[in-house]
Amino acid sequence: MENIVIKKEKMPLKRKLFIASIVTIPLLSFAFFYVYINFNSFLLAFQKIDVNENYSFVGFDNFKTFFDTILTGSDAGLAFTNSLKNFWTTFLISTPLYILFAYYIARKMPGERLLFTVVMLPSAVSTFVYALCYKKFVEVSLQDIMRSMGVFDFPQLISHPDYCNFNNLFFSVWISFGSNVLIFSNAMNAVDKEILESAMIDGANDRVQFFGIVMPLIWPTFTTYCVTGLTGMFTWSGALMTFYMYDAPRHIWGLGYYFTVTIKNTGSIGYMNYPMVATAGLFVTIISTPLVFGAKWVMNKLDKTID
Amino acid sequence: MIWFILFCVLLFVAVLSLLVLKTVRVKNSYTGKVSFNFKGVHKILPSKLLWAVIGTFILIYCASILLPIVWMFLNSVKGDIDFELNSYGFPKKWLFENFAIVLQKFEIKTGARSYGVFDMLFNSIIYSCGNPFVSLFWIYSMAYVMSRFKWLGGKILYSLGVFLMLVSITGSSASTMIIYQKIGLYDNLYLNIIMPPSTAFSGMYFMIIYGACKSISMTYSEAAYIDGANEYRVMFTVILPMVLPTLCTIYVLTFLGLWNNYESFLVWYPSTPNLAYGLYRFQYLNAGSEGLSTPQVLAGMFMVMIPSVLLYLATQKIMKSNFVVGGLKG
């Protein structure tokens, strides 16, 4: 038998030059603003900066200090554990609600158009405008309303040390529905209506339709949501910056907030804290990467089980 | 409290009635006449109760989202004393001049310069229109060459892009700050706007545009090549118009985010405030000292949100149809 050799078509020089002209600038940008900056951040995690802005290598000393802060519950360590706790609290409360709201929209229940318009409003109006309104409302009007109802010792939710974390969690969940509901409802709308109709004719109730048809079909969307959401697990800070600027109570700081407050202090004294930001960041990157890949693997396994 | 409970009960009854009516509604396909068949309604009622509870909860949530905006508007047209004495009622006198006062008086001092409303508005427009334009130009360009041509580099870049999406590198902001200060990018808004994104071949938006470019048949490009079009012409006049709806959706979403962005200005461009940062800073640092009362600050906030809300309402339908992430099975 004659062997047929398929020769690979060679790309013309003109096209090669065209591709090069397009990719050169983005690749240079990537090399400098991503690779170099992150490499420099990696080095910074093993360095110390003194008052005169001199850099010196200190081995793993920064990591030792960081672990000490986790154990003693102070500074970066406290912010790290706060982020972790608060992320899971909001994630576990809000995710079922996003899916429920999205399903309500997709099923075209009463008021679904209003809901669709309203959930996106905080993103359009701005979370910060909402936060400031909320702040004024809680500080002034809510107190007035409570007094008119005979409650005279209602706490100031934003400034009271016992309630400020709850306030941050509540506000973050309340405001977060926008694009998350949009993603799930669009995915549910894309489910073939004929599949649901035939299931209904076969006597499937709402529960069976939801858990047996809709959820398995939108599983790739749910996986993407979970995997991308998990990347923020260790830095979650909620709306601390919006509520308090740089003066949030120390015991509710999240790691993201800690990073922002620290890098905002430029100049010799401020620079001295920069290595701790790089150290905490490197530690978070090292532990979050296998977790994210692990979560993706688990979600894909679950997907096969559902099949 | 009693009023709130009464409101919830009424809402529950309304939602339940709508759900039942939707089920018992019968439309005659020949005459188009609508009638209601209440026979056996007691059987479907229990299954509707749970949906009615969920619907009530959802509508209360909607009310809670709308309430701050209504509250902000009502208080933005109040006088100072009216706000102190009556912070959750209707204004005794509607002071629409609060909006004019904000336009005249609202200003932020950064270093030696002071920025008025129109300076901040200019920065907001330049930042929220320019930044997504530049970013999308590079993201589209990369998506185009990676999806339309078969070359090894394209495959490597795609895999690298996916990897970068999953590996979230944290804490590089300190390093970024040091380097930006050294090369003059820190506190330089306009230079930052024209810079290409650091990862133009990664991220959710890249993946969406990549998918849109890949889904277009190669015959369009081939026909254009036969007609003598060069590579740039095919890229910008043949394929670009076809992916324009997707690009527009992403542009609007990015615009909304950037219009309301104050955090980047707080950390990276503190000397060139936009409206959102101006209001934020004013609220925390200058309130009371520059002659603007709380109702006037609320009037300023109300004005800032108008463009983004109008844009959102105008583009709502596009967003509903063009924003799918992760896909479906099967």
DSSP A219-231: HHHHHHHHHHHHT
One-letter amino acid identity for A251?
H
**Percent of chain B, pLDDT > 90?**
36
Q: Which of B71, B64, B73 is nearest to B88 (CA)?
A: B71
Under 8 Å between Cβ of B247 and B315: no
| Helix B294-322 × helix B240-259 angle, to 10° | 160
Contacts with A44 from chain B: Cβ below 8 Å:
174-175, 178
Which residues lie below 8 Å from residue B327, measured CB to CB, with a gap of 6+?
A187, A220, A221
What average pLDDT is seen over chain B? 85
- Nearest residue in B to A295, CA atom: B166
* Measured distance between the N- and C-terminal CA atoms of chain A, rounded to whole angstroms: 44
What stretch of H or E contains B43? helix B41-76
Contacts with A271 from chain B: Cβ below 8 Å:
178
pLDDT of residue A156: 87
pLDDT of residue A249: 92
Which residues lie below 8 Å from residue B65, measured CB to CB, with a gap of 6+?
A118, A119, A121, A122, A174
Under 8 Å between Cβ of A154 and A171: no
Q: What is the CATH number of domain A64-306?
A: 1.10.3720.10
- How many C-beta atoms lie closer than 10 Å to residue A119's C-beta? 25
**For the residues B223-231, what does the mean pLDDT come to?**
94
A25/B contact by beta carbon, under 8 A: yes
Distances (CA, A) of A49 to A56, A62, A283: 7, 11, 19
Q: Which of B130, B190, B151, B238 is nearest to A22 (CA)?
A: B151
Q: Which of B147, B246, B256, B134 is nearest to B197 (CA)?
A: B134
pLDDT of residue B240: 96
- Which residues numbered 60-89 in A keep a CB inside 8 Å of some CB on B? none
Backbone dihedral region of A160: left (phi > 0), alpha (psi from -120 to 50 degrees) or beta? Answer: beta
**For the residues B222-247, what does the mean pLDDT come to?**
94
B43 or A195, which is more confident: A195
- Report the alpha-carbon distance of residue B91 to residue B74 in Å, rounded: 6
B198/A contact by beta carbon, under 8 A: yes
Phi, psi torsion values for A57, nearest 5 degrees? -75, 135
**For the residues B40-54, what does the mean pLDDT come to?**
78
Q: Which of B213, B212, B205, B206 is nearest to B158 (CA)?
A: B206
- Which residues numbered 230-249 in A keep a CB inside 8 Å of some CB on B? 231-232, 234-235, 241-242, 245
pLDDT of residue B326: 56
The predicted-structure confidence for A143-188, as pLDDT tens digits, reads as follows 888 888 888 888 888 889 999 999 999 999 998 887 788 888 888 8
Distances (CA, A) of A274 to A50, A268, B176: 11, 10, 11
CA angle, A229 then A231 then A237, to 5°: 80
Which residues lie below 8 Å from residue A153, measured CB to CB, with a gap of 6+?
none
pLDDT of residue B221: 94
Question: Do A19 and B324 make contact, defined as CB atoms within 8 angstroms?
Answer: no
Lowest mean per-residue pLDDT among A268-272, B37-41, B219-223, B228-232 = B37-41
Question: Do A11 and B149 make contact, defined as CB atoms within 8 angstroms?
Answer: yes
The predicted-structure confidence for A74-104, as pLDDT tens digits, reads as follows 888 899 999 999 999 999 999 999 999 999 8
- Report the alpha-carbon distance of residue B249 to residue B255 in Å, rounded: 10
Question: Do A182 and B298 make contact, defined as CB atoms within 8 angstroms?
Answer: no
Query: Counting Cβ atoms within 10 Å, is residue A294 exposed (0-12), middle (13-18) or buried (19+)?
Result: exposed
**For the residues B245-263, what does the mean pLDDT come to?**
87
Domains of chain B: 2-23+36-103 (no CATH), 111-322 (1.10.3720.10)
* pLDDT over threshold 70, residue B1: no
pLDDT of residue A231: 80
- Report the alpha-carbon distance of residue B321 to residue B314 in Å, rounded: 14
Question: Do B324 and A259 make contact, defined as CB atoms within 8 angstroms?
Answer: no
* pLDDT over threshold 80, residue B155: yes
CA angle, A14 then A18 then B217, to 5°: 95
- Report the alpha-carbon distance of residue B174 to residue A273 in Å, rounded: 9
One-letter amino acid identity for B196?
P
B328 or B44, which is more confident: B44
A120/B contact by beta carbon, under 8 A: yes
Q: Among A34-43, A284-293, B262-271, name the most confident range.
A: A34-43
Question: Do A220 and B328 make contact, defined as CB atoms within 8 angstroms?
Answer: yes
Confidence of residue B232 (pLDDT cuts 50, 70, 90): very high
**For the residues A191-203, what does the mean pLDDT come to?**
86
* pLDDT over threshold 80, residue B324: no
pLDDT of residue B174: 92
Under 8 Å between Cβ of B204 and B325: yes
* pLDDT over threshold 60, residue B295: yes
The predicted-structure confidence for A32-54, as pLDDT tens digits, reads as follows 999 999 999 999 999 999 888 88
The tokens of A94 are what? Answer: 């809000």
A56 pairs with which residues across the strands?
A: A48
B294 or A88, which is more confident: A88
Phi, psi torsion values for A51, nearest 5 degrees? -60, -30
Is the Cα torsion angle B222, B227, B230, B236 positive or negative in sign?
A: negative
**For the residues B248-259, what does the mean pLDDT come to?**
86
- Judged by DSSP in three states, A153 sits in coil
The predicted-structure confidence for B302-322, as pLDDT tens digits, reads as follows 888 888 888 888 877 766 665
Confidence of residue B323 (pLDDT cuts 50, 70, 90): low
B20 or B238, which is more confident: B238
- Report the alpha-carbon distance of residue B320 to residue A271 in Å, rounded: 45
- Judged by DSSP in three states, B287 sits in coil
* pLDDT over threshold 80, residue B51: yes
Under 8 Å between Cβ of B290 and B105: yes
A205/B contact by beta carbon, under 8 A: yes
* pLDDT over threshold 50, residue B289: no
One-letter amino acid identity for B267?
V
- Report the alpha-carbon distance of residue A204 to residue B276 in Å, rounded: 50
A47 pairs with which residues across the strands?
A: A57
Q: Among B59-63, B153-157, B325-329, name the most confident range.
A: B153-157
The tokens of B17 are what? Answer: 């009635």
Phi, psi torsion values for A176, nearest 5 degrees? -90, 5
pLDDT of residue B286: 54
B25 pairs with which residues across the strands?
A: B36
Confidence of residue B288 (pLDDT cuts 50, 70, 90): very low
Under 8 Å between Cβ of A278 and B172: yes
Distances (CA, A) of B30 to A52, B27, B33, B37: 88, 9, 8, 17
A-to-B residue pairs, Cβ atoms closer than 8 angstroms: 293
Q: Summarize chain A as % helix, strand, coil (round to 5).
A: 75, 0, 25
Contacts with A263 from chain B: Cβ below 8 Å:
173-174, 177, 267
The tokens of A54 are what? Answer: 């001199």
